[in-house]
Amino acid sequence: MALRLREPDPALQSSYVDALAELAVEGNSHYLDLVLPPEPGFPGATYTLETLRDPATFAEFCAYTRALEDPHTPRPAGWVTGTYLWMVEQDTVVGRISLRHSLNPWLLEVGGHIGYAVRPSARRRGYATAALGLMCNVAGNLGIDPVLVTCDDDNVGSRTVIEANGGVLEDIRNHKMRFWLPTT
């Protein structure tokens, strides 16, 4: 496996849209699209499977996603600064992974620092495990140590990924398992 984490890149549009379409079939397109309603101080963003088929819209989506690493980028209330990367093997997008740079109350209880999704056709090949390890390095380089990673209490696959990266279970809250992972 030659998995890399890459910034969103318009050159990978076809592969990204294909991954999004796979997730949509199982009802999980929300893992790769971005639909944020407008609110005071934030104009909203709508990047769906249909709109991302347009190259100009896809390039805009990539630029906005990369810009979310800048604390000055407009975002909805409650969103924290984050790093959003794609899992790529060769020129195929196999998933995405995100690192929230801080924890608000919701992230502390439910979302954690890191979230990830792998397209259905690429699952059970070790991509999530490798990507989580790579993202822990990114977190460590940003001075975030340890990181909180959560999963549903019935998600054996994610639990295995987290534990393979050294995750230590703190507790289970409202059906969410909360693990802390070292990044250094």
Q: Which helix (H) or strand (E) holds 129?
A: helix 127-141
Q: Which residues of the chain have pLDDT under 70?
A: 1
Tens of pLDDT along 5-18?
999 999 999 999 99
Question: What is the residue extent of each domain of the chain?
Answer: 3-181
Q: To 10 degrees, the CA torsion angle through 119, 12, 55, 21?
A: -10
Burial 52-87 (b: 16+ CB within 10 A, else e): beeeebbebbbebbbebbeeeeebeeeebbbbbbbb
- CATH number of the domain at 3-181, out of 3.40.630.30, 3.30.70.100, 3.40.50.720, 3.50.50.60? 3.40.630.30
pLDDT digits (tens, 9 = 90+) for 47-73: 999 999 999 999 999 999 999 999 999
Q: Are 153 and 172 in contact (CB under 8 A)?
A: yes
What is the structure's pLDDT at 69?
A: 96
User: What's the Cα-to-Cα distance from 57 to each of 85, 114, 116, rounded to whole Å?
Assistant: 18, 26, 23
